[in-house]
Amino acid sequence: HKSCRLHATTDPKTAVRDSDISFVCVGTPSLRSGKLDLSHIEKVAGEIGSALREKKSHHVVVLRSTVLPGTTESLVIPILESASGRRAGSDFTVCYNPEFMREGSAVADFFQPPYTILGAPTPEHLAPVRELYKDLPGTVFETTITAAEMAKYVSNAFHAVKVGFANEVGTLCKYLGVDTQTVTRIFTSDNKLNISSAYLSPGFAFGGSCLPKDLRALAYKAKELDLSLPLLESILPSNTEHIERTVEVVLQSNKRKISVLGLSFKAGTDDLRESPQVQLIKRLLGEGCQLRIWDKDVSLGRLAGSNRHYIEEVIPHIGSLLSTDLKEVVRSGDIVIIGTKSVAKTELAKLLKSGQMVVDLVNLDPSQRPESPATYEGICW
């Protein structure tokens, strides 16, 4: 502004002609059905496209509006190409750069972003935008357009989850006579587990002797107090649904000989209490599948107390399914379900055979996934 480089206009052609980059920042409100109203984006894309028809130099179009994955490539680019008579990528560039600016603090948020996300078909397409943002602080993530679109939705959804979670926990604290502020201050001070990337990685369902029972206890207490806490109450059903998705993957394959690697709820322990793998095995047995199970940390002879009682109650004949021979277990199945990270990549790769299907529940790092003729399927990636 001080150097007289800021100008306002209501003419799209003038705006495009006198600039190198166009940022599209129009609203995407909800229709009554919940579907996004993309009419503003369609209108602006058409106007920019018409302006590009008369522009000889290369132009960059950056969409910042919040849109569902695929919108930029399936809607915005086709409109731009149709209106301009030119091709995206060669005649003009389209990128996606979601904004993370809050009402009331937009300017401050722009100059101090949590991070900057740039989405484009290739890194080369991002060069002008990268140069524009070079002086801003924070990490810059360069990725695909669809990943950038989805990252914005994930961020907003998690913000909403955090608000709802805090409100429900605060309500429960109030009715129990507990100081909400003290609990919140203690909880948010932990940036190793509570407020961090810990647990925020797609994988299998949670289990063990703590999380499930603690959620049930909170829900039960809330009912005693006649409180409706739908967010907290929905977590366990969501967890169960995740197990069911794995069951469906197996059943839809029409394969019934299953090798399961991992029985305990967490590698490095023999705790089977409410292990999601145990629940998965129970469901697959109920569907008529033949199972062999391997877990280097689990020995029936060493199980004791509530741990032993739990597995004997849920799967009474577990002893006949368990084996300490990894090779025998892997080779026995048409599907190999990886439910633990304690099995070595090199060891597993040698045992897998052609025609087998690998179902990964633990989100093995790509470098740790076995290279083999088996078909690989991640449960949610």
Mean pLDDT of 264-279: 92
pLDDT, tens digit, for every residue of 15-64? 999 999 999 999 998 888 888 999 999 999 999 999 999 999 999 999 99
pLDDT for the residue numbered 373? 61
Catalytic residue among 95, 210, 289, 380: 210
For 291, counting Cβ atoms within 10 Å of its Cβ (0-12 exposed, 13-18 middle, 19+ buried), the class is buried
pLDDT, tens digit, for every residue of 80-95? 999 999 999 999 999 9
pLDDT, tens digit, for every residue of 97-139? 999 888 788 899 899 999 999 999 999 999 999 999 999 999 9
Give catalytic status of residue 173 as yes or no.
Answer: no
pLDDT, tens digit, for every residue of 196-224? 877 777 889 999 888 898 889 888 889 99
Neighbours of 284 (CB within 10 A): 21
Percent of the chain with pLDDT over 70: 98
DSSP SS3 for 304: coil
Q: Which CATH architecture has domain 12-146?
A: 3-Layer(aba) Sandwich (3.40)
Contacts 24+ apart (CB under 8 A), 111-116: 111/136, 112/137, 112/138, 113/137, 113/138, 114/138, 115/139, 115/140, 115/141, 116/140, 116/141
CATH of 237-378, picked from 2.30.110.10, 3.30.360.10, 3.40.50.1820, 3.40.50.720, is: 3.40.50.720
What are the strands, taking DSSP E only, across the chain?
A: 21-24, 59-63, 92-96, 115-119, 139-143, 257-261, 290-294, 335-338, 357-360, 375-378
Q: Where are the domains of the chain?
A: 12-146, 237-378
Rounded Cα gap, residues 133 and 63, in angstroms: 15
Equal fold, 12-146 vs 237-378: yes
Q: Look at strands 375-378 and 139-143 and give their pairing.
A: unpaired
